[in-house]
Amino acid sequence: MVTLNDYLLVSGLLFSLGFAGVLLRRNILVIFMGLEMMLNAANLSLVAFSRFGVANGLPDYNGQMLVFFVITVAAAEVAVGLAIIVALYRAKQTTHVEDLTSLKF
Amino acid sequence: MSPTLFWIFAAITLGFGAATLINRNPVASALSLAVSFLGLAALFTSLSATFIGIVQVLVYAGAVMVLFLFIIMLLDLKAEQRRQVRLSALIGGVVIAGLFASQVVLVLRHFPKGNHEFPPLSLPHPDAVNIGLTLFGHYNLPFQVIGVLILVASIGVVVLSKRELN
């Protein structure tokens, strides 16, 4: 028997994996991948709650709409973020966050 | 969905997600993340959200990961692999993420409402029809706003990719 809590557990573990990636890795591209993982973990719990809140035999489609918008915004975010990373690499020749200290006081 | 299949796909999602963090090579990280997203799409399909599952495969495992691989191969990242991870960052990251994960487990243990099976569905139309009716009916304005957002993002990418900003 698969319950709602099983899906929420997988979602929480995926979120903490992405969070650990953002904190641990020093390569800005892998940090970006960790961000994507966190967004997807939130999507999983949204879809699980939408499937759990059944009314008249239909799932709660408001949750799935939010997932749709999150996926769209994430795609736009990836395009802009990777363009910024390419511009940064052109200026500094590195993608290592410890070499990018020009904003440090 | 049978519990065996659920746990197999959950293990694929979490295992390849962990491989994304552990791999030193960014190309291997990106490919592991693509497999992790495919496992997540299977989990979405198991929740009867077939449309979201297909969008996940098309947008994430397809477009976004190809963009990542393209950028990784465009920037020559071989010199990054030899760096050491600092010990304080390692300990801090593991402790904070572990605290978060244990807190999730603790909250879920005291959430008896979620310990039931999912109620049965009776869909009069396929999933995509219902999604379309909701998206173009109740969510029509947000849908058009998101179109403007994508237009602005694509213009922004073109401006950022130019060599000189005059």
Residue ranges covered by each domain of chain B: 3-80+87-122, 123-166
Of B49, B150, B163, the CB nearest to A47: B49
Tell me the pTM.
0.91
In a domain, A104, yes or no: no
Of B17, B89, B92, the CB nearest to A14: B17
- pLDDT, residue B85, reads 65
- pLDDT, residue B114, reads 81
What would the pLDDT profile of A3-18 be if each residue is shown by its tens digit? 899 999 999 999 999 9
What would the pLDDT profile of B19-60 be if each residue is shown by its tens digit? 999 888 889 999 999 999 999 999 999 999 999 999 999 999
Concatenating the DSSP letter of every residue in B63-93 gives: IIHHHHHHHHHHS--GGGGGPPPPHHHHHHH
Return the H-helix or E-strand segment holding B108. Answer: helix B87-109
The pLDDT confidence band at residue B83, using thresholds 50, 70 and 90, is: low
In a domain, A15, yes or no: yes
Residue type, A75: A
Where is pLDDT greater, at B166 or B17?
Answer: B17
In a domain, A79, yes or no: yes
In a domain, A26, yes or no: yes
Give ipTM to 2 decimals. Answer: 0.91
Place of tokens 């991948």: A33
In a domain, A92, yes or no: yes
Interface test with A, best of B60, B91, B116 (most A CBs within 10 A): B60
Q: How many domains does chain A have?
A: 1
CATH 1.20.1270.360: does it fit domain B3-80+87-122? Answer: no
What would the pLDDT profile of B136-163 be if each residue is shown by its tens digit? 999 999 999 999 999 999 999 999 888 7
In a domain, A17, yes or no: yes
In a domain, A37, yes or no: yes
Say which DSSP state B119 is in.
P
Q: Is A97 on the interface with B (CB under 8 A)?
A: no
- pLDDT, residue A105, reads 73
CB interface of B with A, residues 89-118, below 8 Å = 89-90, 92-94, 96-98, 100-101, 104-105, 108, 111, 113-118
Of B21, B108, B116, the CB nearest to A17: B21
Interface test with A, best of B64, B70, B103 (most A CBs within 10 A): B64
The set of long-range contacts for B130-134, using a CB threshold of 8 Å and a minimum separation of 24, is B130/A58, B130/A61, B131/A61, B131/A64, B131/A65, B131/A68, B131/B51, B134/A61, B134/A62, B134/A64, B134/A65
Which CATH number goes with the domain that contains A88?
A: 1.10.287.3510
In a domain, A105, yes or no: no
Residue ranges making up the domain that contains A51: 4-99
What would the pLDDT profile of A26-75 be if each residue is shown by its tens digit? 889 999 999 999 999 999 999 999 999 888 888 999 999 999 999 999 99
